A and B are shown apart, each in its own frame.
Chain A
């Protein structure tokens, strides 16, 4: 397998079974650094499983078996002896339903900074303000930073989760259908943010809305029943898919 320097994540023969059901079969993919990669495919084809394998979140479930290699920055994260929190710290996760931590808005963003760095109160405040500004939430919450995060609207909560993720300065943002639970305006805000953030971070976006993938993706991986059918630059896949199954999915025959 070629190891090109600007691939952030690569998998080799990655297979995942959950309670002996094969969910991912022999996945070989490359995810380019500082680009937005969309993982598309119909529901239940293993998109989320693939995403969660990148930061070893799969193993907190029961009955998960993982085979193959997952290279992040050239290091196989499945090899033993690695510190799992360090692997996860490199990868921010934005889930389908936003899960703010059960604490205040301020503490949500400060949480990651507190567990990883010793910062003074002033440094913390600055960092929190910067992250909230980056996701466009600062103006909306600056007067109620110590309110419970659960009182924000779902759209605001999702942006808070984004701010919380980038506070620990990850290299990758793993986004699991981050807009599917949101209203159209909030969804658009998140999409715009992801486009902005891909300049600094490698963004992996799981989505089942093709239109969203068309709007934002630089690179596309098409997954169908746990197998990679096609992967490549978005321009190629969307205009000239080589595989007939991809063509069928893009034209709406499989959904």
Chain B
């Protein structure tokens, strides 16, 4: 038991320490407030604000879209609406999708891009790839939290004359809220950190994207580009980017904690 605690804590501390120690020295106000136009990949100049904005522009809409699909699917999977054996089959499909490597989503979207003649990558197809990646994660998390809602609570709502829809939206949703929030932020965390699914779909850019069909930079792909450069100064910038990504992911964790606690206020145990 103690060994597993050490392994988990140790690897977390090690990752955070390596990234912080290597990343923080390369951080500066300039690198956070400038785009990578000019010599970002060549020498000490430039910044990666365009990648931060790009990542947010990819992950936020993708999480929003994925949530809309997921909440509908998760509600429909409940036995009040769908026969349990069919629902379990759909759960199996979602679990398989959850396990599909993200590069496969990327290749899938690339195929569509080629089919519609949009070669070179765009924000739009990055969002589509991330949405597909996040749907199984968010759906299954919401589904599990809804399944945990006690039958007695649903019976209470039904016996007051609620319809299935009212019960789902007014009672079950409230009870499942902490799980729903956790699921959405889990999806967002996965989406913003995933490199493989956007590698083939968003292309790259040194500027802010100005439309949904523009190519864009993103934090995970930028790390990949930076470490493949021969210059040590440029390689160190990868740690700075990784550090910012880490900060974003930690922030998501803290926000999740706060929101789930806040929405647990009315939960019936």
Contacts and interface: CB of A to CB of B under 8 A. Distances in A.
Contacts of B147: none
Given A101-B156, A115-B170, A164-B160, 19 more contacts: A55-B159, A57-B159, A60-B151, A62-B79, A85-B158, A88-B161, A89-B161, A91-B159, A92-B159, A92-B160, A101-B153, A101-B268, A102-B174, A102-B266, A104-B266, A111-B170, A112-B161, A115-B161, A150-B268
Contact of A99 (B156, B163, B174): B156
Interface in A69-125: 85-86, 88-89, 91-93, 95, 97, 99-104, 111-112, 115-116
Contact of B160 (A60, A104, A111, A149): A111
B158 A57 contact: yes
Contact of A60 (B80, B161, B269): B80
B155 interface: yes
Interface in B225-254: none
Contacts, number: 85
Contact of A85 (B150, B156, B163, B268): B163
B153 A99 contact: yes
B160 A88 contact: yes
A86 B161 contact: yes
Interface in A42-62: 52, 55, 57, 60, 62
Nearest to A96: B152
Contacts of B170: 111, 115
A168 B156 CA distance: 13
B150 A168 contact: no
Given A149-B266, A150-B269, A99 B160 contact: no
Given A93-B156, A102-B175, A85 B161 contact: yes
Chain B interface main SS type:
helix
Contacts of A89: 160-161
A142 B168 CA distance: 29
B247 to A, nearest CB: 34
A97 B161 CA distance: 19
Interface of B: 79-80, 84, 150-163, 166, 170-171, 174-175, 265-269
Contact of A116 (B84, B159, B161, B175): B161
Contacts of A86: 161
A161 interface: yes
Interface of A: 52, 55, 57, 60, 62, 85-86, 88-89, 91-93, 95, 97, 99-104, 111-112, 115-116, 148-150, 161, 164-165, 168, 174
A95 B155 contact: yes
A107 to B, nearest CB: 9
Contact of A168 (B155, B161, B269): B161
A104 B267 CA distance: 10
A88 B158 contact: yes
B268 A165 contact: no
A103 B174 contact: yes
Contacts of B84: 62
Contact of B267 (A55, A102, A174): A102
B259 to A, nearest CB: 16
A181 to B, nearest CB: 11
A107 B155 CA distance: 17
Nearest to B175: A102
A163 B154 CA distance: 18
A86 B80 CA distance: 18
29 contacts: A55-B159, A57-B158, A57-B159, A60-B151, A60-B158, A85-B162, A88-B158, A88-B159, A92-B160, A95-B152, A99-B268, A100-B156, A101-B156, A102-B171, A102-B266, A102-B268, A103-B174, A104-B266, A112-B161, A115-B170, A116-B161, A148-B266, A149-B266, A150-B269, A161-B156, A164-B156, A164-B160, A165-B159, A165-B160
B175 A97 contact: no
Contact of A102 (B80, B153, B163): B153
A97 B88 CA distance: 29
A170 to B, nearest CB: 9
Contacts of A115: 160-162, 166, 170
